Amino acid sequence: MTVNLASKIQKFQFKNLFLNASGVHCQSKEELDDLRHDQFSGGLVTKSATPNSRFGNPLPRYHSLPAGSINSMGLPNEGFEFYLDYVTHAKMQKPMILSVAGMSKDEDLDLLHQIQNSDYQGLTELNLSCPNVIGKPQMAYDFAGSDQMLKEIFAFFKKPLGIKLPPYFDLVHFDRIAEILNQYPLSHVNTINSIGNGMWVDIESEMTVLKPKGGFGGVGGSIALPTALANVRALRQRLNSSIDIIGTGGVTSGRDAFAHILCGANMVSIGTQLYEEGLGSFRRINKELSEIMERKGYHSLDDFRGKLKIM
Ligand code: SIN
């Protein structure tokens, strides 16, 4: 039996559901080219672009944990023009998502105005959830502010736009954010960004493992999987069916990807595991997911997407 891993966000067709998580292997032209040519990833997401290039936070800013990672990268990137040019002109092997993150609301609006006025016709994703920029709050935790911002954005922005969300932890917060997002013609939400402001301690040196922000950083990898699954599930239960979901967080295997799809994910992105294992992770996880689907007699993702059963 052959299984079909094809998926889509709105009208954009992906030959399989796997993406890189923004931030992993997507900063330089070489990294983006690697992703574009990799036959086992369905699409790619750029590093979140700020108006100007940034070095990001001081080193060390990434640390592997026993069951995941902690990072405080601080949006190192080549600047908006570089990424807009890449997604507009690189020969399309697969759909690409342009991720953007201004340092303020005005910068976000300005970046989106530039995209609206450009030749770019693909998907854009506004990152409202980076936990690592010093002095910049995670916008999507400010419900009233996010609502106002989306109102201003959709007054002029007519191209497909999704947003990257931070994890939420209270059912009331899922209700609140979904109520806001449902008012707007979003192409998708990407959930979750890393779990913000975690801490890891080296007890020999009695020091934090990260330098920036006094050692606080975003937690990802396996340890984030339960939180990611809960966010995909809770949002799928609440969002309009017209808003697609990219499930991000804790995917290290085909089993994890299968769980994300059961919870309702249209696409699945791989972050820490891609960083640790490299591009080969796409091939392995593809194979593992295909084997699970074959064993269960599923031909396509639609056969089980969102069909999680309750005990
Ligand atoms: C970073 O701090 O650069 C990673 C988090 C993000 O992309 O939002």
With respect to residue 164, please indicate whether it lies within any of the assigned structural domains: yes
CA dist list (Å): 243 to 178, 234, 236: 10, 13, 9
130 in active site:
yes
Measured from the Cα of 129, ligand 1's closest atom is: 8
Q: Is residue 273 part of a domain?
A: yes
Structure tokens at 104: 């303020």
pTM for the model:
0.98
- pLDDT above 80 (res 1): no
Q: List the domain range (segments joined by +) for residue 158.
A: 7-57+75-189+224-303
How does the average pLDDT of the chain come out, rounded?
Answer: 98
Whether the predicted pLDDT of 218 surpasses 80: yes
Residue 177 lies in a domain: yes
What pLDDT is stored for residue 205 in this prediction?
98
Q: Is 231 a member of any domain?
A: yes
Q: Which two tokens stand for residue 49?
A: 């672009």
At 234-246, the pLDDT tens digits run 999 999 999 999 9
Query: What are the tens digits of pLDDT across the range 21-77?
Result: 999 999 999 999 999 999 999 999 999 999 999 999 999 999 999 999 999 999 999
Asked about 263 being catalytic, the answer comes back as no
Q: From ligand 1's centre to the CA of 221, what distance in Å?
A: 14
Q: How far does the centroid of ligand 1 lie from the alpha carbon of residue 272, in Å? A: 12
- Whether 93 shows a pLDDT value over 90: the answer reads no
* Total domains present in the chain: 1
pLDDT in tens, 107-162: 999 999 999 999 999 999 999 999 999 989 999 999 999 999 999 999 999 999 99
In the chain, how long is the greatest CA-to-CA distance?
A: 54
Instruction: Give the containing element (helix H, strand E) for 34.
Output: helix 29-37
The CATH code of the domain that includes 45 is 3.20.20.70
Whether 49 is covered by a domain: the verdict is yes
- Set 7, 41, 129, 281: catalytic member: 129
* 264-294 residue pLDDT tens: 999 999 999 999 999 999 999 999 999 999 9
Q: What pLDDT score was predicted for residue 92?
A: 80
Residue 22 is predicted with a pLDDT of 98
Whose CA is closest to 256, among 96, 95, 67? 67
Percentage of residues in the chain having pLDDT higher than 90: 98
Portion of the chain with pLDDT greater than 70, in percent:
100
Q: Domain for residue 204, yes or no? A: no
The residue written with tokens 């007699």 in the block is: 297
∠ CA 145-150-156, nearest 5°, is 140
Could you tell me if residue 133 is inside a domain? yes
Ligand 1, residues 19, 20, 22: which to mutate, most atoms within 8 A of Cβ? 22
pLDDT for 288:
98
User: Measured in angstroms, how far is the CA atom of residue 110 from the centroid of ligand 1?
Assistant: 20
Q: Roughly how many angstroms between the first and final C-alpha of the chain, as a whole number?
A: 30
Nearest Cα residue to 18 out of 226, 257, 290, 307: 257
Backbone angles phi, psi at 305, to 5 degrees: -60, 125
Residues with CB under 6 A from ligand 1: 22-23, 48, 73-75, 127, 130, 132, 193, 218
Domain contains 13: yes
| Overall average pLDDT of the 196-220 stretch | 98
**Residue 102 Cα, ligand 1 centroid: separation in angstroms?**
12
